[in-house]
Amino acid sequence: MKHTAFAAISAIALTAAGVAVAEPQAEVLHWWTSGGEAKSVAVLQKEFADNGGTWTDMPVAGGGGDAAMTALRARVLSGNAPTAVQLKGPAIQEWYEEGVLADISSVAEAEGWADVLPEQIAEHMKCEGAWCAAPVNVHRVDWIWANKDVLEANGIEMPTTWDEFNAAAEKLQAAGIIPLAHGGQAWQDATVFETVVLGLGGPEFFQQALVDLDPEALTSDTMVAVFDQMRTLRGYVDDNFSGRDWNLATAMVMNGEAAFQIMGDWAKGEFLAAGKVPGEDFLCGSTPGEGFLYNVDSFAMFDVKGDDKKAGQDLLAELIVGPSFQEVFNLNKGSIPVRTDVALDKFDDCAHLSSEDMTASAEGGALLPSYAHGMALRGAQAGAITDVVTAHFNSDMSSADAVQMLADGVANSM
């Protein structure tokens, strides 16, 4: 049989030695569609193609991935799962329990992932002892981004306490500047909320409230104070915030319409994609308080038929955790490499701060999973919390009512 005819029938190629090998194929479901995100995912597409793979892109727009997860459910229910899916946190284990994820342990073992990944993060990638996802990066959620010129023109320093933040916001508002660029979408409300929980309550309180779901913490005075601060922040956003995409909020900080944005460091990817320079055009600082909220992007491989698809999954997994991808991708994405052996020489000060704070937080027990980005809780519990946070932010609900709703909602979701 001629090589060309053979390949056409089965997408199988022959190596020089005449051994049949499958040509790697992957249909990849992800939600990386903003400027910085698209630039980052292009790095993976290129590496995949350079290594002989054929990539079928399945982008589903919508920050935070809610729309992507809805699309995934529909595909899996119709018995036609994508080859590889951007999936993270406990959702990985939830899908594994459905019996639809592939085991990628052979790649993980061949590539020595256990030796180069922090243990706490490696745990998220395992399902009943097997490797079931490949980690891409470490995003930090608890960041404030600021327009440097706007702060300087108004004599404002990067705030280090929430009181300082509020004072700065009042001053900016009086000067006619929108203090806080925000997009009124549930996941963005949740993002701001969790940074306030960490900041006002501290790492131990965050763990009790948003990881362990301790009813006492959920109804505590501290949680009342958190909702009070959310109400205060609501006063610092503009009238058009409803439904705004996160990257448009970032653009408001870039162009000086707004001073601050509270958002994970994918926002830095946006600044960088627009040619902005950290320390010159924009500033980064952790949100007030101790600790580090991590959000690790990862890809899980779904159980699909066909040697070409399986080869695609193996190749993708290998590339994703590979050192060269880890460097180039994360330089674009705003995150830091998940591998501990990638040098940060080419990374900016924000990335260095992230890396240093991550190490220090891990030592002090303050390295915590982001609830807003699906790292801490299963979907039902996280959803119950977000419903209350959003309902409170978009109404005049009192903080006392909010904590009660929070405890009830969480209890009903168990």
Q: Residue 297's Cα: distance from chain center in Å? A: 6
Q: At its nearest, how many Å lie between ligand GAL and the CB of residue 183? A: 10
Which residues is 55 bridged to in the sheet?
A: 26
- Cα–Cα dist 372/125, whole Å: 19
| Strand, coil or helix: 97 | helix
Instruction: Compare residues 139 and 339 and give the one whose CB is closer to ligand GAL.
Output: 139
Rounded to a whole number of angstroms, the minimum distance from the CB of residue 140 to ligand GAL is 11
Closest CB to ligand GAL among 140 and 310? 140
CB 222, min distance to ligand GAL, A: 26
Q: What is the nearest approach in angstroms of ligand GAL to the Cβ of residue 156?
A: 27
Taking the complex as a whole, how short is the minimal distance between the CB of residue 378 and ligand GAL, in angstroms?
16
Pairing of strands 178-180, 84-86: unpaired
CA 332 to chain centroid: 14
Which residue lies nearer to ligand GAL by CB, 260 or 371? 371
Which residues make up the interface to ligand GAL (CB under 6 A)? 31-32, 37, 63-65, 139, 246, 266, 295, 297, 373
Give the three-state DSSP class for 128.
coil
* Closer CB to ligand GAL, 45 or 54, in the complex: 45
- What are the angstrom distances between the C-alpha of 76 and each of 123, 140, 149, 308? 25, 30, 48, 19
Q: Which amino acid is at 324?
A: S
Residue 117 vs 150, nearer CB to ligand GAL = 117
In one-letter notation, the amino acid at residue 414 is M
In the complex, least distance from residue 214 CB atom to ligand GAL, rounded to whole angstroms: 25
Q: In whole angstroms, what separates CA 146 from the centre of its chain?
A: 20
Closest CA to 6 of 22, 28, 26: 22
63/312 with CB nearer ligand GAL: 63
Q: Among positive and negative, which fits the CA dihedral 357, 359, 360, 362? A: positive
DSSP strand pairing (126-127 vs 130-131): antiparallel
Does the CA dihedral 310-315-320-321 come out positive or negative? positive
Tell the smallest beta-carbon distance from residue 137 to ligand GAL (Å). 7
CB of 373 to ligand GAL, least distance (A): 4
Q: How many CA atoms lie within 13 A of 325 on its CB side?
A: 23
Comparison of 37 and 318: residue with beta carbon closer to ligand GAL: 37
Nearer to ligand GAL, 96 or 299 (CB): 299
Distance of alpha carbon 97 from alpha carbon 101, whole angstroms: 8
